[in-house]
Every structure is written in C-alpha cells, then in structure tokens.
Structure 1
Amino acid sequence: MPCVAKLPMGTAILRRYVLIGAIGQGGVSTVYSAVDARQGRKLAVKVLAPSLADDAQAREDVRREALITDRLRHPSVPRVFEYGEAPLPDGSVVPYVVLELLAGVPLTERLARGRLEWPEAVRIAATAADVLAVAHRRGVVHRDLSARNIMVSPAGIKIIDFGLATAALRSGDSGAHPVVIRRNGPRGDTTRDTLSRSAAVHGAPRRDGPKHGGPKHGGLRRGGQDHSGLDHGGHDHDAGTLPSHPKTAFARPADDVYTLGVLLYEMLTGRSPYPPAVAAMIVTAGRAGHLAPTPVLAIPGLPPPLRDLVRACMAKRPEDRPLSVDVALDLWRILDGVHLPEPSIN
C-alpha cells in the first residue's frame, strides 16, 4: 500500500473543520479527528491525499463511499454530515467527507486476545447482518465485511469502511431484500418479525436508534455546480442511483452473506478458515473456486442452530446461502432470552 502524505495538524478544511490528528489511513485517503469550529464538536474528516487531486478514479472513490454510506442511514453505520470538495493550503482541491467520530476499538483487537463467547459473537454478527439487510434492500453490497471494519464502541457496534461497497449486481437476484429490525417482543412472539418484514417490503421500514437528516453537500463550486453532484438549487442528481465500484461491480448480496459467515467462524473459533497468507485475498476477490470447505464447528455449548447457520452462510454456491434479512432474524432468535452485557472495548 502506497504511503499517503498526511496534512499537518491545525489545517482547516473550508476554514471550519480543524484537523487534530490522523486516526486512520487507506490507500488513497486519510481520516483525521477534527473539531468543527462553528459548533465546537468533534468529528472525523476523511480527505483524499493532495498528491491524488488529479486522479479521477481516486476522487470518484471518495465520492462513491460518501454517497453509499449516507444512503444507509443506519444507527450502526457512521453518520455522514457533509461531503464535497475543498481547497487545501497547497492549492490543490480534493474531496472530503465529514463523519461521526467513533470511540472504541476494532474487532481485530478483541480477537487478538482469543475467540469470543458465542453470545457476544452472535450479537456482533446480528448487528452486522442488520446493516447488510438494510444495504441489500437499498441496492448496496458492502464487499469488505471483516473484523477490521467493525468497531466495538460504547455506543454499540459500528460497521465502517464502505470503500469497496458498490451498487448491487442486478441479475436473477435483484439484491433488494427487506429491512430487518431486531425483535424486542417476548420469547416466542413472532409478530414483530412479521410486522418488520411487512413494513420493509411495502417501503415503510421502521428503525430503532437516532434519526437524522441527510448530509449537507459542501465544498467548492465550479461553473455553477459543485463536485458532489448538486446544482445551485440543491438538487442531488445521484439521489436515485448509486455508482458501481470498478473493482467490485460483479458483487452480489450473497457475497456479503459469505463474508458474514467467515466473520462468525473467526469470532467463534479465534481463527480464519483460510491460511493467513491468502485469507484477505480470497474473501475480497470472492473466488468461489477457492472458498474454504463448509466448516464443521465442534465447539462445546454451541447452539446447533448457530452451527447450522454458519455452515449455510459459508455454502460454496451463492444460491444456497440465506438472505441477509433471514440471517439477521435467525441470529436475534438464537440470542432471544440470553442475557448478555454490552461488548467490552477494553
């Protein structure tokens, strides 16, 4: 991965977002903790590397991730407050995204100490499955679900990094699955499941968690239009269509279900089903011919439905895998009646 130069501490984006320090770095951009000088709150700001200011694909990657992350509007996905383009002190103009600042640790740090007890693993996976169900309902495939892209925070589980996310492949499976909501009813009460499914299918999903409006599209305007897709009237030309990622445009919702199965396997066993040297490559590339054999989970005390669900998610044939909405419902059912404290971030 190429080294991306970091902006100096104190740099002000649009004379408003004052960068405090880098907290994450990818191949083309850096995420900074920042302070909003107008409102006095802490935020995260993702900025494309100035050296890539003229790279059309890199610029589009930042824009695509912002659009997709905002489209989800899920309490377990970081909120997007604003995105657009901004001039930097060196004269370059780059895309930026203003995001919710998360506190917590990556799931990878938790797994470095060993496998999780199955109730905690199921709670994390169920939250991830909720997000995938919403994403698939809205035509998005995450394509990079893994322990490094899950944050365990005091506010709960957050699914991050939609850099490889893409508009879902439309074939025999449209990728439009119902939104799923966690059941809160008494044990054995399936009414809430049915109502959640029905509301989602008919276009009126209800969600727990904080409500918020869409992000502002800020940034530099050129020739009557800024580079976030808005004209001077404030109309978002991309509201109904999401862009595909050039490297993952082939992706299907079933690919996300497979990687969710891999994640569950890793949390339950403390190890990947793949040799370390090839794990990330195989899962990211989605090479079905090289997928790990359907696993056998011989873990004492593991509920048989959970064992069977992991195996179903990791089926080699995409058409044999369950829908993300069904995975979420099944995982919450498995947890139904199990008292579990909030995941520890220590």
Structure 2
Amino acid sequence: MDERGVGLIGALLEQRYRVDALLARGGMSSVYRGLDTRLDRRVAIKVMDARFADDRAFVDRFEREARSAAKIHHPNVVAVHDQGVDTSPNGDLVYLVMELVDGGTLRDLINERGALDVPTALAIMEPVLSALAAAHRAGLVHRDVKPENVLIGHGGEGGSTVKVADFGLVRAIHSAGTTSASVILGTVAYLSPEQVTTGNATSTGDVYSAGIVLFEALTGTAPYTGDNAISVAYRHVNDDVPAPSTLAKGIPPELDDLVVRATRRDAALRPVDGAAFLAEIEKLRVLTGAPRVVVPVPAPTIADRTMPVSPAMIGNSSGVLDIGEAEQTVRNAPVVSPAMSQAAPSGATIVRQAPPGGFRPVGPQGTRAMLRTDLDRASAAATEYVPPASGRFPAQQPQVAPPPPPPRNRPPRRAPEPTGRGGMIALWSVVGVLVLALVGTSTWWFTSGRYRAVPDVAGMARDDAERTLLANDLDPQVQTERHDDVQAGTVIRTDPADGTEILRGDAVTMYVSLGKPKVPEVRAGADPEDVADLIRAQGLRPDRDDGQNRYDEAVEKGKVVSVTPQPGTELELGARVVIVLSKGPEPKPIPDVRNKTKDEAFQELTALGYSPVEGPPEFSPDVEGGRVVRTDPEIGSKLEGDDKTVTVYVSTAVTVPDVGGRSADEATAMLAQLELQAEIHAFSGGNGRVIGQRPAPGSKVEPNSKVTIWAIP
C-alpha cells in the first residue's frame, strides 16, 4: 500500500501502538492487529494510504470524523479508541485505533453460506439497525453501509456479537480532492439514488443501503450487478429493487414488503431512520414468529485487494480515483495499481492486467469515487438498451453504435480568393466582428461571467436548496446544527451569505436545521464526561446537582445513572440538562449489636461494609461484661460518606456471685477472682458461714466494687 507497508509490522506508532499482523488490505487503507502498550489492550489499527497523509484537508476532516464516531457509545458500534498521525523520516501515517473484533464480516458469512435463512438475517439486521439508530440520534450518517462494514465476532458463553464499523470515514475521504457536485462517492452496489444523483447523504440513505444489505443476506446476491460501476449506479436511479422472494424461497410476504419499502427510490417512502427500520424489523419478527438465533461467526477472508476499473472508466482523462476499501467484482478486468496510481501524472489513468485466473469475488463493489458525467453518458446510452435473452435481473448494457464510414476521397477544395477592393473590405469586416466578439466575451467573462451571486435558499428544504445551488454552478456543502425555530431539514443560512458574489464552482456551505435539541439517550454506567459531550453535541448545557444524585445498586459510584429531563425531551438551545450520578449502593443502617460479644458485633458490621473499632470500655448495669453496650454512630444510623468507621463500646460490668453458705474465706477468694472486694461482718469473729450479702447475687457492678458479707460461726 505505502512504502512502509511490510516494514510497518513490529513498528510502534507514536511510541504507543505496536503493529503486530496484517488483517486486511484495501485501496484506501490497511488494517492490522495491534497492541496498545500503554493500556495492554489488543486493538485494530487502520492505517490510511500514505497519499492521504500529505493532504491537510483530509487529515483535518479525518480527525473530526474520528471524534464524531468516537462519541457513538453503543454495544453494536465498533468503538473508536484513538486517532493520530505518526511522523517518521519515511513519511507520515494517518491511523485510527479501534476495538478489535475477533471474527469476520457479513461478506465472509455470505461467501461461506450463500443466502441466509430468515432468522439469521433478522438476527444480523437488528444490531446493525440499532447501531444506525444510535448514530442517527446523534446527527451522524454512516454513508457506506455494506456487508464489509458489518463485523461478526465471538461473544460470551458461546454466543456472537454484531458490530458496525467505519462511521464517517467516507465523509473524511470526501475531503481528499473530490466534490459532491461532480463525484459519486461510496460503494456503488449499496448507494441510494440520491447519493448517486446529488451526493446527498441522509439517514434515509443509510436505510436504503441497509435494505440492500438485507436483500443480499436473504438472496446471497446484490439486486443490481453489471459489467461496470456506472451501469450499477444507473440502475439504482432508474430501477425498483425487486422483492427478495423472486430470487429465494421461504421469505415471508411481510419481509418482502419491508425490503421493497426500505429501498424505494423516493426517500420519503422509506423508514425515516435506523430506529424506524428497526421497529419494523421487530414488529415483523412478532408477526412471523421468527425465532431468535445466534449469528454464526465466519472465518475472515484476508486478501490483498485492489480496485477493479470498469471498461467505461479506462482511459478517462479526468483521472477517476479509487479512494476506498477495494473489493473485486469484475473478473479478468484491468485494475489500477495503487503504487502506479500515486506516481501517475495528473489526468492519467495507469492500468495493469489482472493476474491469470481472475480474482476471488468478495463483494459487489468497493468504496469509490466516480464522475457523474459517466452516469449521464450511461443514461443517454440506455435509450438504445436491448434486454439480454436470459437472466432475471440483467444489467443494462448500452448498444455500441457502429463506427461511421470513412470519408470519401475527394480533391481538396481551394478557398475562393478575394478579388479587388470589395473582397478586402468583406475580409476585414469579418475580422472586425470576430475581434469585437472576442473582446466582448472576454470582458463579460472577467467582469461577471466568472461569478455567481449566492441565491437565497434560507427556509428551503435541504434537497431543494442543493438543486438551486447546483443550478447556479455552485458546490453545495452541508453542515447541520440545532435550531429552536427552524424545522428539521430546512436551511437556516449559507456561508457565504446570500447575495455574495463568488467564483463559479466555489463551495457554499448550507447550515441545515436538525430541529430543536433533544435530551440524548444515555447508558447507565457511562462516564460523566462522555455524557456531557453528548449533551453539548445537542446544543444543550450539561450540569451537575449533587442533591439529585442517588444510590444505585448496579451502577458504580461516580458513574451516570440518568439525566434530567428524560431522554427525548425537546428543549431550547442552551437549556440545562442535569447529569444524575450514582452514589453507589445505598448504605445499610447500623445493626443492633447490643448484648452481643465484641467478636460477633465486629463480624456483623464488617459484612455490611462498615469498619468497626473498639472504643473505651464503659460500665452498664444492664449489659453483662464483655458484651456490647452501644455503638457510635448509634444503632439504626446510615453512613453516607467514605468514612465507614463504627466505634463499638463493650460493657465492663461484673455480675455479683452468690456466696451464701460458704465460709468467709471462700467468699472472699471467690469475689477477688472477679475483681471485687469483700467486706466481712462476722458475728463473734472467726471464719463463720455467710448468711447474707449486698449487692444481691446477680447484680451488675463496676470492677473493684465492694460486696458486704455477713457471717456467723
């Protein structure tokens, strides 16, 4: 791919990401298995072709799109961890660090199994549409939904996981020397009609592409094929996608109808976005009773792929450029060599012959840029289309007109020679007219002909505004933003402003309203800063309120529990959205450990997350010595802070024994063992028998207390 290609194995990008092994290679990038040495985490590293690193516009757009993709927090979206530019004496490398999915792609699964059964196709499309729904809610459009961007990996407990990759990368590549007014950008087999004709990429365009992916999953083939990319693009614009049941058996009529509706040429007739398409799939599953199954994980296909060039594109002096993931579709066709295309002079197309035996097909088309003028020529040629004798869905092939007959050999005709004064006057008159016409045309061109006033498109629907700008020889570029008063899909303003005179072909940025901001969906347990970024992306103001934080048994302390107002609520721009954080599990009240031994009390407190410590012993006339008198904080309290210390106070009380009937000496010794003092009152002296005592037996007294004893001989 680039001069560092093979030598990149073992390299350390920006002293952090180690490149371990090549996973896949395409016309735009190579994907490697790697290791984040800082976090000791296995990652996938996508390294862009070296020709993009020198394009500042591409690098800037690439960084913006990578940041946007990284904000999509969804279990079915391949996580973007980092992006950067590695600088070395051999040249700069633009790279993207992503989650590593251990498995293959939907393309690999279709290559392995052909047409998939209905439960498997639905099991794949549900997570794909869930990922698109999350992106569309965030105001992002994928632009290149295709089987190669649907990754199927191993999940836990023998299951599998389906994830969508490469959000926004086509948009980033779009900045590398192409314009939407003249170039069709994307994977031609999955392009929506509006992407082909105007370059307009919306959520309904993603729906169309997802519908084509579902068609291919159910039938094993894309609905449109052809000898070249232009003929396929032409069919997207002019033909209706057929029902899958015309190619495969066992497809329910409800699923047939959904695929047809999702791939309508009129975008207004499709589901509006990924969420609407997903709701239709879930409803269909209930109606048909399709069981839920585990998606089989395919073996990945690792190949060095190069982009095929159709016969119509060979020799095109405009220099059609392959800028995306390369996939083979046309066997034995000449292909562009990436190494040669970089070295080719401007305006040239370098070709080489495909290797003998052709290529192993891996998909209908790869991400590419091609000129809309080629599509116009295909449209004109289609008026002479003759259907082939066989084939259910033939690619339209324009007939080739026979070459014109050679001109007859005639003797050259001599121009009449001007004669006399009248001939000279006529000659000079013609010259004068031509000079005046040239001067007038030049004057018009350099004064007003080169310029166009930006038309006023504010208040127009996005599609109408784009057509208006194109009709004025201007290049429409679209930026979206939230607006309190302008309806979604309507142009707010342009830059330059309307009435400004600019050169023909210059870009005009249209700012299209996304409508009023909506509180975004958030995942319980998400990082507060990530949620704050989602809120800011909607034009709202994230805020914290410790008084609204709450306990949660399942969410780690300090992570997000929810937001206030509820997700989906429409607000004014800049309105406050409170991020509610978890305070961790709710603390349990301090249990009643009175009259328990110290060891018993410590064990019970520790089990509830407290840190018991022993306080100074204290006397209690109601609690036996060695057992708990009280705690501090008191029993029933809850400790909400980080300090979980509970002081346990143990009784020092001594229980007075019964010494009645014993000799005075025996009673004295018995009390001494309990750290009590005997006070003897003996009648007639001597070591008499005890006939009474005070305090009474069983009383609880402090250590070293006196016990009065009465004894008689």
TM bracket, shorter-chain basis: 0.5 to 0.7
Partner residue of 2:24?
24
Of the three residues 257, 261, 266, the one matched with 1:317 is 266
Q: What's the offset of the Cα at 1:31?
A: 2.1
Query: Structure 2 vs 1, CA of residues 304 and 32 (structure 1 numbering), >3 Å: closer, same or farther?
Result: same
Any idea what the Cα deviations from partners look like across 1:87-137, whole Å, max 9, x if unmatched?
A: 23x253443222111111111121113100011101211221112222222
Q: What's the offset of the Cα at 1:264?
A: 1.0
Contact 1:145/1:260, CA 8 A, preserved across alignment? yes
Partner residue of 1:43?
43
Partner residue of 1:253?
203
Name the SS for the 2:8 alignment partner. coil
Q: What's the offset of the Cα at 1:339?
A: 3.1
Contact 1:34/1:43, CA 8 A, preserved across alignment? yes
Q: Which segment drifts farther, 295-304 or 100-109?
A: 295-304
Any idea what the Cα deviations from partners look like across 1:10-31, whole Å, max 9, x if unmatched?
A: 1101212111122233434322
Partner residue of 1:295?
243
Matched letter for residue 304 of structure 1: P
Paired residues for 1:188-207 under 5 Å: none
Partner residue of 2:633?
none
Whole-angstrom distance in 2 between the partners of 1:27 and 1:61: 19
Q: Which segment drifts farther, 293-302 or 76-85?
A: 293-302
Of the three residues 270, 274, 279, the one matched with 2:224 is 274
Name the SS for the 2:130 alignment partner. helix
Paired residues for 1:153-232 under 5 Å: 153-155=153-155, 156-162=161-167, 164-166=169-171
Partner residue of 1:215?
none
Whole-angstrom distance in 1 between the partners of 2:42 and 2:270: 41
Query: Structure 2 vs 1, CA of residues 47 and 116 (structure 1 numbering), >3 Å: closer, same or farther?
Result: same
Whole-angstrom distance in 2 between the partners of 1:252 and 1:74: 20
Partner residue of 1:222?
none
Q: Structure 1 unaligned runs (5+)?
A: 168-244
Any idea what the Cα deviations from partners look like across 1:144-201, whole Å, max 9, x if unmatched?
A: 111111111113111112355549xxxxxxxxxxxxxxxxxxxxxxxxxxxxxxxxxx
Query: Structure 2 vs 1, CA of residues 288 and 269 (structure 1 numbering), >3 Å: closer, same or farther?
Result: closer
Contact 2:50/2:94, CA 8 A, preserved across alignment? no
Paired residues for 1:147-158 under 5 Å: 147-155=147-155, 156-158=161-163
Whole-angstrom distance in 2 between the partners of 1:281 and 1:73: 36
Whole-angstrom distance in 1 between the partners of 2:137 and 2:83: 24
Q: What's the offset of the Cα at 1:84?
A: 2.7
Name the SS for the 2:54 alignment partner. coil
Partner residue of 1:12?
12
Name the SS for the 2:277 alignment partner. helix
Q: What's the offset of the Cα at 1:34?
A: 0.9
Partner residue of 1:339?
291
Whole-angstrom distance in 2 between the partners of 1:286 and 1:70: 35
Q: Which segment drifts farther, 114-123 or 127-136?
A: 127-136
Asked whether 1:101 is paired with 2:100, we answer yes
Partner residue of 2:114?
114
Whole-angstrom distance in 1 between the partners of 2:79 and 2:147: 20
Name the SS for the 1:142 alignment partner. coil
Of the three residues 307, 331, 337, the one matched with 2:256 is 307
TM-score for both structures, normalised by structure 2: 0.34
Query: Structure 2 vs 1, CA of residues 274 and 49 (structure 1 numbering), >3 Å: closer, same or farther?
Result: closer
Query: Structure 2 vs 1, CA of residues 81 and 164 (structure 1 numbering), >3 Å: closer, same or farther?
Result: closer
Asked whether 1:85 is paired with 2:85, we answer yes
**Alignment length (residue pairs):** 264
Contact 1:282/1:291, CA 8 A, preserved across alignment? no
Query: Structure 2 vs 1, CA of residues 76 and 56 (structure 1 numbering), >3 Å: closer, same or farther?
Result: same
Contact 1:4/1:28, CA 8 A, preserved across alignment? no
Contact 1:123/1:335, CA 8 A, preserved across alignment? no
State, as a whole percentage, how many aligned pairs show the same letter.
30
Whole-angstrom distance in 1 between the partners of 2:22 and 2:84: 20
Matched letter for residue 213 of structure 2: L
Q: What's the offset of the Cα at 1:51?
A: 4.7
Any idea what the Cα deviations from partners look like across 1:249-296, whole Å, max 9, x if unmatched?
A: 621211111111111111111111102445x6677x698523444436
Whole-angstrom distance in 1 between the partners of 2:124 and 2:99: 20
Whole-angstrom distance in 1 between the partners of 2:60 and 2:230: 23
Any idea what the Cα deviations from partners look like across 1:286-341, whole Å, max 9, x if unmatched?
A: 98523444436245442332111111001111111112212101212333454333
Matched letter for residue 314 of structure 1: T
Contact 1:255/1:286, CA 8 A, preserved across alignment? no
Q: Structure 2 unaligned runs (5+)?
A: 156-160, 173-177, 186-198, 299-713
Contact 2:119/2:293, CA 8 A, preserved across alignment? no
Contact 1:65/1:163, CA 8 A, preserved across alignment? yes
Whole-angstrom distance in 2 between the partners of 1:136 and 1:281: 29
Whole-angstrom distance in 2 between the partners of 1:108 and 1:28: 18
Name the SS for the 1:73 alignment partner. coil
Contact 1:69/1:77, CA 8 A, preserved across alignment? no
Whole-angstrom distance in 1 between the partners of 2:179 and 2:32: 26
Larger radius of gyration: 2
Whole-angstrom distance in 1 between the partners of 2:250 and 2:49: 49
Matched letter for residue 309 of structure 1: L
